[in-house]
């Protein structure tokens, strides 16, 4: 992770000098994480790809505004978060059921279907804010401080959302755990 | 140390300050409830991580600005524009300053002669030429028409001759048949 940050910082320095290939390299290092973060928020692969592209484009356009090169990750995810919520505000009235179905089907190809369905169903029962806290912490591995930076809220609020979500998930996933792991 | 769920959760997510860890670890080893809570939290996060990351359906890449950067040739484009405009302006000035003299000369030359006579002569010549052409065309058409009629007439005559001959043959055959029938009876 430290080496990754050092390499990112070097690439960002080159991007600031106008090196587009350095930015493409940076994109290739982050695109899967950003895509999966957006996929777990939106549930739509197509929307997630579009939003990822928009987020990276904004990152490229505003790279000079990044104060600390070592904070590129949270800064990029802040942009992606804003893109996702801007998208939700525009699209809220009509959600695409086909995308939701596809989202539920696709993970089942690699792991036991009942487990993935249980986890997906449990995540779906969370509020969007709780789900995002879980995604950033459990799936993306961000620290509380970084999450606070991404979501622009205090660490105490982050913890409250995450731990409430985990209490709910614990109840939902306990039977699944006992069946799946034993 | 008493049971503290928040500290336990911070510890589970590796967010507890290093200085507080030994005390909490001692408490977990002594408290079955906190140990069970920690296990349950870890099982829950492990269950969540069952969902695998997906590959983006398409790679994201940005095109280098160098592709769109103007070359040296195109940097000179404005100068080419100015040069062509200067040539056009020079041509226009040359035309304006020289051509009116020629026009004036022609007009002056023409105005020295009686215009009516020239016009009348031109009209008469044109009319005569037109009449000659009309007559020529009329004669040609007439000849073609006559030739066509002659041809048709010839065909008709030939057709009549053939029909006459055919009729004569039929009459002859009929009369011969009648005479043979009479002779047989």
Nearest to B57 among A49, A144, A180 (CB): A49
- Percent of chain A clearing pLDDT 70 (strictly above): 80
Locate B54 and state its tokens. 């997906």
pLDDT(A102) > 80: no
Give the helix/strand (H/E) hosting A109.
none
User: Tens digit of pLDDT for each residue in B55-99?
Assistant: 999 888 887 655 444 445 544 555 666 677 778 888 787 766 665
The answer to whether the Cβ–Cβ distance between B62 and A56 falls below 8 Å is yes
**Which positions of chain B have pLDDT values less than 70?**
64-82, 95-113, 159, 162, 166, 181-185
pLDDT tens-digit readout, A129-150: 999 999 999 999 999 999 999 9
CB B9 within 8 A of CB A144: no
Q: Is A154 left (phi over 0), alpha (psi -120 to 50) or beta?
A: beta
Chain pair A-B, CB pairs under 8 angstroms = 104
Least confident of A75-84, A89-98, B3-12: A89-98
CB contact under 8 A, A177 and B49: no
Torsion (CA) B161, B167, B168, B174 in degrees, nearest 10? 170
- Percent of the residues in chain A that have a pLDDT greater than 90, as a whole number: 65
Q: Do A173 and B54 touch (CB under 8 A)?
A: no
A 1-20 near B (Cβ less than 8 A): 18, 20
- The answer to whether the beta carbons of residues A27 and A56 sit under 8 Å apart is yes
Q: Does B67 touch chain A (CB under 8 A)?
A: no
> Is pTM beyond 0.90 here?
no
* Residue B6 contacts A, CB cutoff 8 Å: yes
Each residue's pLDDT tens digit, A38-73: 999 998 999 999 999 999 999 999 999 998 988 999
The two three-digit tokens of residue A131, written as one number = 């789900």
């Amino acid at each position: 992770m430290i080496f990754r940050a050092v390499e990112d910082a070097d690439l960002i320095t080159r991007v600031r000098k106008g090196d587009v290939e350095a930015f493409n390299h940076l994109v290739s290092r982050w695109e899967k994480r950003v895509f999966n973060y957006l996929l777990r928020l939106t549930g739509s692969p197509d929307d997630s790809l579009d939003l990822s592209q928009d987020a990276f484009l904004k990152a490229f356009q505003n790279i000079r505004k990044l104060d600390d090169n070592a904070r590129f990750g949270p800064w990029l995810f802040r942009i992606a978060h804003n893109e996702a919520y801007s998208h939700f505000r525009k699209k809220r009235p009509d959600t695409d059921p086909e995308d939701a179905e596809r989202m539920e089907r696709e993970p089942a190809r690699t792991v036991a279907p009942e487990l993935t369905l249980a986890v997906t169903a449990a995540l779906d029962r969370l509020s969007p804010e709780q789900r995002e806290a879980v995604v950033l912490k459990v799936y993306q591995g961000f620290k509380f401080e970084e999450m606070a930076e991404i979501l622009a809220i205090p660490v105490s609020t982050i913890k409250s959302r995450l731990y409430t979500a985990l209490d709910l998930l614990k109840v939902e996933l306990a039977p699944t755990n006992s069946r799946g792991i034993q | 140390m008493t049971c503290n769920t928040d500290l336990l959760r911070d510890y589970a997510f590796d967010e507890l300050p290093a200085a507080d860890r030994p005390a909490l670890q001692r408490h977990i080893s002594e408290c079955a409830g906190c140990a069970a809570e920690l296990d349950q939290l870890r099982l829950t996060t492990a269950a969540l991580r069952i969902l695998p990351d997906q590959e983006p359906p398409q790679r994201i890449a940005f095109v280098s600005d160098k592709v769109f950067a103007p070359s040296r040739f195109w940097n000179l484009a404005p100068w080419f524009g100015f040069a062509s405009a200067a040539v056009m302006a020079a041509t226009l000035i040359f035309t304006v300053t020289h051509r009116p003299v020629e026009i004036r000369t022609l007009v002056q030359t023409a105005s020295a002669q009686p215009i009516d006579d020239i016009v009348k002569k031109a009209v008469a010549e044109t009319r005569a030429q037109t009449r000659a052409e009309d007559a020529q065309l009329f004669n040609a058409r007439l000849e073609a028409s006559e030739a066509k009629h002659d041809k048709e007439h010839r065909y008709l005559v030939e057709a009549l001759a053939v029909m006459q001959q055919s009729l004569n043959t039929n009459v002859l055959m009929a009369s011969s048949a009648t005479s043979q029938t009479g002779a047989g009876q």
